[in-house]
């Protein structure tokens, strides 16, 4: 398991850096916010990303993918984080696409993969119902009726839910909330009767939605995988999302850190650059150390997703490590970035605040630090 990017992966990272800096810098995200974009991203930019092949990176060739792995994807997400670029790459490709790849039948894959990879359709993954992430806490009911199912319940915080063509809904067909068994995955069209999507205006100005399903009828063909056995595929797809989000967090944190160190060198008070004060130097040095630890954890998480020698538990452990440590470093460094920028740090004029807000959302998404620490520990206990 290699913890550095290969030459090809590095090349992709460089291309992504160049492209995003030109087409989707932080100023572009600021503009999206100020215009109150409903999608939270620029459709034309997303089209260009698709044309560059980013949406095909993680999938097998047989499904129209590039088989370039999560590490390749990570190289892109790091740059996405640096530029705060918004796109449905995480929601529609990494999360929804992976569920269909991992749990879908051939017919379902044929129906969706090409459309997702081609950017013609957008699918959002609807899992969470409680304020904090908990894929096993699913309570939304799906009851059998005739050959199909009827779904009723509410999903919260569905990323890129506004404007999605369909949702992959995790629903309970058996067992109790909190249990991994009894969860089934359904594809639900956004225009099906009883589906109601309302935007949640989140602090990172991205697209999030509340999804209400009121007696929504779906056919048997909407069920992905076996009834009641959806959790494994769901969790594997979430793990891919977690490591990509960790890479995004790493990129965003790196950018904040670089900006802050630069500020320490140029901001003059008491006739000297404030970076000459040891009180700030030591804190900056600690930030650097945690950033390095986070980078190692993220690289290991990305590499674990691509490593066929690892079992699901080992992969899950590394994904949790990556998401936790990236979030931990992001938390420390974003707080320091604001503080070290002084009064300017709390103004909207600087990008520091935009990073801080996105980091807060990304930290909470797909499991916060507490969630992943517990998950890592539980998985280790099983192993021991």
Residues that bind another protein (CB under 8 A): 2-4, 261, 264-265, 272-273, 275-278, 280-282, 284-286, 288-289, 292-297, 299-300, 321, 324-325, 370, 373-374, 376-377, 380-381, 384
Instruction: Give me 225's structure tokens.
Output: 């995988």
Query: Of 90 and 274, which CB lies nearer to another protein in the complex structure?
Result: 274
Q: Write down the least CB distance from residue 32 to another protein, Å.
A: 33
Instruction: Evaluate whether 81 touches 248 at the Cβ level (below 8 Å).
Output: yes
| Chain centroid offset of residue 375 CA | 18
Residues 6+ apart with CB under 8 A from 58: 65, 68, 69, 70, 72, 73, 93, 94, 97, 98, 240
Query: Of 347 and 380, which CB lies nearer to another protein in the complex structure?
Result: 380
Query: Of 9 and 29, which CB lies nearer to another protein in the complex structure?
Result: 9
Tell me how far apart the alpha carbons of residues 85 and 68 are, in angstroms, rounded to a whole number.
21
Query: Of 26 and 261, which CB lies nearer to another protein in the complex structure?
Result: 261
Q: Write down the least CB distance from residue 79 to another protein, Å.
A: 19
Q: Write down the least CB distance from residue 375 to another protein, Å.
A: 9
Q: Write down the least CB distance from residue 322 to another protein, Å.
A: 9
Query: Of 28 and 321, which CB lies nearer to another protein in the complex structure?
Result: 321
Q: Write down the least CB distance from residue 293 to another protein, Å.
A: 4
Secondary structure of 124-163 in HEC code, one letter for each residue: EEECCCCCCCCHHHCCCEEEEECCEEEEEEEEEEEECCCC
Q: Write down the least CB distance from residue 291 to another protein, Å.
A: 9
Query: Which string of b and e fits 84-114 if b means at least 16 CB within 10 Å?
Result: bbbbbbbbbbbbbbbbbbbbbeeebbeebbe
Query: Of 105 and 276, which CB lies nearer to another protein in the complex structure?
Result: 276
Q: Spell out where the chain has E strands.
A: 123-126, 141-145, 148-159, 166-172, 183-189, 195-201, 207-218, 223-224, 268-269, 272-273
Q: Write down the least CB distance from residue 373 to another protein, Å.
A: 5
Query: Of 22 and 270, which CB lies nearer to another protein in the complex structure?
Result: 270
For residue 244, count other CB atoms closer than 10 A to its CB: 32
């Amino acid at each position: 398991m290699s913890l550095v990017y290969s030459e090809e992966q590095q090349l992709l990272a460089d291309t992504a850096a160049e492209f995003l800096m030109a087409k989707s810098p932080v100023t572009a995200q600021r503009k999206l916010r100020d215009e109150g974009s409903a999608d939270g991203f620029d459709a034309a930019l997303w089209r260009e990303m698709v044309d560059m092949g980013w949406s095909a990176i993680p999938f097998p060739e047989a499904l129209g993918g590039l088989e370039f792995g999560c590490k390749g994807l990570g190289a892109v997400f790091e740059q996405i984080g640096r530029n705060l670029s918004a796109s449905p790459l995480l929601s529609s490709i990494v999360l929804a696409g992976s569920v269909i790849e991992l749990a879908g039948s051939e017919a379902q894959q044929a129906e969706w993969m090409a459309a997702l990879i081609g950017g013609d359709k957008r699918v959002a993954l609807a899992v969470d119902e409680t304020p904090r992430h908990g894929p096993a806490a699913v309570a939304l009911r799906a009851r059998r009726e005739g050959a199909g199912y009827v779904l009723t319940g509410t999903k919260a915080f569905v990323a890129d839910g506004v404007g999605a063509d369909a949702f992959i809904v995790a629903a309970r067909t058996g067992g109790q909330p909190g249990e991994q068994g009894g969860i089934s995955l359904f594809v639900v069209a956004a225009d099906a009767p009883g589906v109601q999507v309302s935007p949640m205006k989140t602090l990172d100005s991205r697209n999030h939605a509340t999804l209400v399903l009121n007696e929504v009828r779906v056919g048997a063909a909407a069920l992905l995988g076996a009834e009641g056995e959806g959790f494994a595929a769901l969790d594997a797809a979430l793990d891919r999302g977690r490591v990509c989000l960790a890479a995004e967090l790493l990129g965003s944190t790196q950018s904040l850190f670089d900006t802050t160190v630069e500020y320490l060198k140029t901001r003059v008070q008491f006739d000297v650059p404030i970076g000459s004060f040891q009180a700030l130097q030591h804190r900056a040095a600690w930030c650097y150390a945690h950033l390095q630890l986070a980078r190692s954890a993220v690289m290991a998480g990305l590499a674990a997703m691509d490593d066929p020698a690892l079992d699901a538990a080992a992969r899950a452990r590394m994904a949790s490590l990556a998401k936790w440590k990236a979030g931990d470093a992001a938390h420390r460094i974003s707080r320091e970035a604001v503080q070290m920028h002084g009064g300017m740090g709390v103004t909207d004029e600087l990008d520091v605040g935009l990073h801080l807000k996105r980091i807060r959302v990304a930290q909470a998404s797909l499991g916060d630090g507490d969630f992943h620490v517990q998950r890592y520990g539980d998985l280790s206990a099983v192993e021991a």
